[in-house]
């Protein structure tokens, strides 16, 4: 599918013509306009001691290596957004592999370090995940978590149907405590991204007032904060200047939460999730209802305790019911062992899943079940199809989070942060020429 047919398919002919008009106002014939937009975003984030993550098609990088080096030197992360701006769902696996490899060699030749991949149109397939793993990417950022913060009833039927078409195109998944966390599939980290993105808000829903856009983004932030997850905001840098006010509103909203929101690049989030994977909690009984806890982790690990008493060690308030434990070796008083018990027939896959979610687990027999804070007997796999897996995993995490039992666990984010925020953007084009070349390039690579 090329740009023209994609746009017409999801937005209609009228909208496509309307969009063409805006191309000349957002892009220029030189790099000047986009350079200004990129620096606007970088400066905005620098005030919060962080930087954005941009994704760019390799052919666009090849035409603008100096601009992208300049942006990377300012601290922005640059990830790969395809060789050309095409939809991988239309490509065979060998072709996905070939084009991804081509993209990598352009990044290498221009000396731009990359860690991650985001597909144009978030168009990932199971084959893409194999390709990214085989080619050594640290992460991909394609799973689109839908935040239904838009009141669809106030939209005209035409706008509403366009909006619903884009949800289907982006393979949207529901928002819950589990889907807002990154997760490993083999060696590849999958970092969720969020929709609606700026294009859906500005172009499809025609919401262009910066205050209102800022309010929508803050609403998403609040919901992500409540779930303790990650908000990956997606905006196209050509709207950088237009979005500045809205971004400022979002960033100060995030900064004003009672507990810290970690604002980071996706590369930093990927490194953190890899580091966190090694953490372990070792819990041994000392006496009835008393347990020695020894944590193997790095200094920035967040150790949380709920419904138990930490003896002789300071704790700090955190999001209820958890408190933050500073010490790495401490004693707790609890009515049950603060582990999650698993029946002997529960597969290792379940233990690995719970470990990644931050919960300590121990295998035990049915007779010992009562000794543990929670006990699960899950004889099979956690779902077979991807949809079932998503459902089972979401339900399990929600069940654990809702249980009023003594439990120790690792928080998702470093240094006691409650949630995380990443500002990301796809640099689909730098100039007007790039915009029109996309049509040709995609046509040549189907």
Residues that bind Zn ion (CB under 5 A): 120, 426, 428
Residue with the CB atom nearest Zn ion in the bound state: 426
Q: Which is closer to Zn ion, CB of 120 or CB of 411?
A: 120
Q: Which is closer to Zn ion, CB of 268 or CB of 434?
A: 434
- Give me the phi and psi of 51, to 5 degrees please: -145, 160
Q: How far is the CB of 141 from Zn ion (least distance, A)?
A: 12
Q: How far is the CB of 426 from Zn ion (least distance, A)?
A: 4
> Could you tell me if 418 and 318 are in contact, meaning their C-beta atoms sit under 8 angstroms apart?
yes
Residues 6 or more apart in contact with residue 13 via CB below 8 angstroms: none
Q: How far is the CB of 97 from Zn ion (least distance, A)?
A: 20
Distance CA 382, CA 353 (A): 9
- DSSP letters along 3-53, please? HHHHHHHHHHHHHHHHHHHHHHHH-BSSSHHHHHHHHHHHHHHHTTT---E
- Give kind and range of the element (H or E) at residue 284: strand 280-287
Q: Which is closer to Zn ion, CB of 203 or CB of 322?
A: 203
Q: From its phi and psi, is residue 85 left (phi > 0), alpha (psi between -120 and 50) or beta?
A: beta
Task: Specify which residues 422 forms β-bridges with.
Answer: 232
| Burial readout 5-34 (b: 16 or more C-beta within 10 A, e: otherwise) | ebbeebbeeebbeeeeeeeeebbbeebebb
Query: Hey, how many other C-beta atoms are within 10 angstroms of the C-beta on 312?
Result: 7
């Amino acid at each position: 599918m090329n740009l023209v047919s994609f746009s017409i398919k999801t937005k209609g002919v009228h909208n496509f013509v309307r969009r063409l008009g805006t191309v000349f106002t957002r892009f220029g014939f030189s790099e000047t306009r986009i350079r200004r937009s990129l620096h606007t975003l970088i400066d905005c984030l620098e005030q919060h001691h962080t930087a954005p993550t941009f994704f760019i098609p390799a052919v666009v990088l090849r035409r603008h290596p100096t601009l992208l080096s300049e942006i990377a030197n300012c601290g922005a992360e640059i990830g790969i957004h395809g060789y050309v701006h095409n939809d991988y769902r239309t490509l065979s696996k060998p072709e996905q592999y070939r084009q991804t490899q081509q993209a990598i060699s352009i990044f290498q030749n221009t000396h731009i370090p990359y860690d991650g991949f985001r597909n144009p149109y978030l168009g990932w397939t199971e084959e893409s995940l194999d390709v990214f793993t085989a080619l050594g990417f640290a992460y991909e950022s394609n799973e689109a978590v839908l935040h239904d913060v838009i009141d669809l009833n106030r939209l005209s039927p035409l706008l509403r149907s366009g909006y619903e078409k884009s949800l289907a195109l982006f393979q949207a998944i529901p928002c819950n405590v589990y889907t807002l966390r990154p997760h490993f599939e083999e060696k590849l980290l999958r970092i969720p991204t969020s929709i609606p993105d700026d294009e859906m808000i500005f172009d499809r829903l025609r919401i262009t007032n910066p205050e209102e856009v800022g309010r929508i983004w803050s609403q998403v932030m609040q919901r992500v904060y409540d779930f303790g997850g990650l908000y990956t905001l997606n905006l196209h840098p050509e709207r950088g200047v237009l979005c500045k006010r809205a971004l400022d509103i979002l960033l100060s909203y995030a900064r004003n939460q009672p507990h810290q929101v970690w604002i980071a690049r996706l590369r930093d989030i990927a490194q953190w999730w890899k580091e966190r994977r090694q953490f372990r909690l070792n819990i041994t009984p000392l006496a009835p209802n008393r347990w020695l806890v020894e944590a193997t982790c790095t200094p920035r690990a967040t150790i949380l305790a709920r419904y138990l008493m930490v003896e002789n060690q300071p704790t700090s308030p955190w999001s209820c019911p958890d408190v933050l434990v500073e010490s790495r070796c401490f004693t707790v008083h609890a009515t049950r062992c603060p582990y999650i018990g698993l029946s002997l027939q529960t597969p290792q896959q379940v233990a690995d899943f719970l470990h990644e979610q931050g919960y300590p687990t121990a295998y035990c027999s049915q007779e010992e079940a009562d000794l543990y804070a929670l006990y699960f007997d899950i004889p099979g796999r956690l779902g077979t199809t991807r949809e079932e897996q998503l459902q089972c995993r979401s339900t399990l995490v929600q069940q654990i989070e809702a249980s009023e039992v003594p439990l120790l666990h690792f928080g998702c984010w470093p240094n006691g942060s409650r949630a995380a925020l990443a500002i990301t953007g796809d640099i689909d084009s730098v100039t007007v020429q790039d915009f029109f070349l996309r049509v040709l390039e995609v046509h040549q690579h189907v």
